């Protein structure tokens, strides 16, 4: 019997080395990574600045405890506050934990408003994580199946549908709206340009917290530091993880206004969260994105890939839509197409299929033009022969 639990369906490949957008397997074969470990290694693999920060910090101090002050944690909080416009930060080790903190803040907000049975509005096809509270918030029955009873009380509404939320305005136990600015796992669903603006207005009217899950969209992925910055609004609570440490585990929950006052000593915590190694690494990630002008590069690459795919695929029957926000790219086909992942792997390209029929690309920001060309040609070729056979 295998000694690893069976919770993952793994592809038949094991990587031992990476550099930039390339990975090498145990046989020494190289692969082009168009997925970045699911929007994590945004600066590519073994980025020199990040590697140097990890090595230096590992030689200095890895962990103490949140019983004590942590210099790099304070510096990272300051940095994120100035980048986000939020007011304070809590650090943890993963996306699910960042969302747990966000959900706990909503519960404390309810206590303050004397609401004993608070509800949070969430959306269909959302993904918020695998802990009990975050899988309850997730809008995908497959993620919840077998783990009932779920955590109460999440109200699921269609994504990109403000009217559906407006209809709940009379319900007086609602305390927050929790959404992804672009749904990642749900199929790269890009909402109307003013979706977040409308949610902001509605939350202000209702005194609900606007809680944005930017675990996938944050840290430059959509071409702004944070996706809500396309809308010139601020959320009340913000969760981050994936790209923040470029592979070193770190998550963050940031808050503003009343939400920034809710935690007091003893109300929340974690042993590892915000340790010197993780925070120092995240600071190096943010510095590198800034120094190397990578937001601009994300936008350039986004246009380049969109144009390339449009040229290759716009006339192809069976391509339902090509969606992109920055370097979150989804190509929806009219058939389930999970087998394309293995076919791409055979051509030494790493891609993902989500929501059954959507090819998802999350390439690193340091991708070269010729690597972008290779992604366009390989993926388009695979799609054309797949559709010709179905």
Ligand X SMILES: *Cc1c(COP(=O)(O)O)cnc(C)c1O
Decide if 334 is catalytic: no
Q: Find the binder of ligand X among 18, 44, 95, 223 (CB under 6 A).
A: 95
Q: Find the binder of ligand X among 31, 127, 225, 263 (CB under 6 A).
A: 127
Strand 119-123 to 174-179 pairing: parallel
Please tell me whether residue 23 binds ligand X under the rule CB under 6 A: no
Question: Residue 134 or 288: which CB sits closer to ligand X?
Answer: 134
Q: How far is the CB of 56 from ligand X (least distance, A)?
A: 25
Assess contact for 242 and 215: CB atoms under 8 A.
Answer: yes
Backbone angles phi, psi at 316, to 5 degrees: -85, 120
Could you say which residues in the range 155-184 bind ligand X, by CB under 6 A? 180, 184
Please tell me whether residue 200 binds ligand X under the rule CB under 6 A: no
DSSP state of 268: S
Catalytically annotated residue among 90, 213, 325, 365: 213
Burial of 82 (0-12, 13-18, 19+ CB in 10 A): exposed
Decide if 127 is catalytic: yes
Q: How far is the CB of 241 from ligand X (least distance, A)?
A: 5
Please give the residue whose beta carbon sits closest to ligand X in the complex. 95
Could you say which residues in the range 291-320 bind ligand X, by CB under 6 A? none
Please tell me whether residue 215 binds ligand X under the rule CB under 6 A: yes
Of 212-220, 271-279, 360-368, 373-381, which segment contacts ligand X by CB under 6 A? 212-220
Assess contact for 32 and 22: CB atoms under 8 A.
Answer: yes
In the chain, beta strands by DSSP E = 15-19, 22-25, 30-33, 88-92, 119-123, 154-157, 174-179, 209-213, 237-240, 251-255, 319-325, 328-333, 349-350, 352-354, 358-361
Please tell me whether residue 216 binds ligand X under the rule CB under 6 A: yes
Please tell me whether residue 137 binds ligand X under the rule CB under 6 A: no
Decide if 213 is catalytic: yes
Question: Residue 241 or 282: which CB sits closer to ligand X?
Answer: 241
The DSSP-derived string for 15-75 is EEEEEBTEEEETTS-EEEESSHHHHT-TT-BT-HHHHHHHHHHHHH-S---TTS--HHHHH
Could you say which residues in the range 224-263 bind ligand X, by CB under 6 A? 241-242
Catalytically annotated residue among 91, 127, 154, 263: 127
Interface with ligand X (CB under 6 A): 94-96, 99, 127-129, 180, 184-185, 213, 215-216, 241-242
């Amino acid at each position: 019997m295998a000694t690893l639990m069976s919770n993952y369906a793994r592809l038949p490949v094991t990587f031992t080395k990476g550099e930039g957008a390339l990975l090498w397997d145990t046989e020494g074969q190289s692969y082009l990574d168009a997925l970045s470990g699911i929007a994590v290694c945004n600066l590519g693999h073994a980025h020199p600045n990040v590697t140097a920060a990890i090595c230096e910090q590992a030689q200095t101090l890895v962990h103490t405890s949140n019983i004590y002050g942590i210099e790099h944690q304070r510096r990272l909080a300051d940095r994120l506050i100035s980048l986000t416009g939020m007011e304070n930060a809590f650090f943890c080790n993963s996306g699910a934990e960042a969302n747990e903190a966000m959900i706990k803040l909503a519960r404390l907000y309810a206590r303050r408003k004397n609401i004993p049975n608070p509800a949070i509005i969430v959306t269909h096809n959302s993904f918020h994580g695998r802990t009990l509270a975050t899988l309850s918030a997730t809008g995908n029955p497959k993620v919840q199946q077998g783990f009932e009873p779920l955590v109460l009380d999440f109200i699921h509404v269609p994504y990109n549908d403000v009217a559906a939320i407006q209809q709940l305005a009379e319900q007086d136990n609602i305390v927050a709206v929790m959404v992804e600015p672009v749904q990642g796992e749900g199929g790269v669903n890009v909402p109307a340009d003013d979706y977040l603006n409308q949610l902001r207005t509605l939350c202000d009217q209702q005194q609900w917290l606007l809680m944005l899950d930017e675990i996938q969209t944050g840290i430059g992925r959509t071409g702004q530091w944070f996706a809500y910055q396309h809308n010139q609004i601020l959320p009340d609570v913000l969760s981050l993880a994936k790209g923040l440490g470029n592979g070193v585990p770190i998550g963050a929950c940031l808050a503003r206004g009343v939400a920034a006052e809710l935690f007091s000593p003893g109300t929340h915590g974690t042993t590892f969260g915000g340790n010197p190694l993780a925070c120092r690494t995240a600071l190096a990630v943010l510095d590198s994105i800034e120094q190397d002008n990578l937001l601009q590069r994300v936008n350039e690459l986004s246009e380049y890939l969109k144009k390339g795919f449009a040229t290759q695929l716009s006339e192809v029957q069976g391509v339902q839509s090509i969606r992109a926000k920055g370097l979150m790219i989804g190509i929806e086909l009219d058939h389930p197409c999970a087998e394309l992942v293995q076919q791409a792997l055979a051509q030494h390209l790493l891609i993902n299929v989500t929501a059954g029929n959507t090819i998802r690309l999350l390439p690193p920001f340091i991708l070269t033009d010729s690597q972008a060309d290779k992604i366009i040609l390989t993926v388009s070729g695979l799609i054309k022969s797949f559709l010709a056979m179905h």
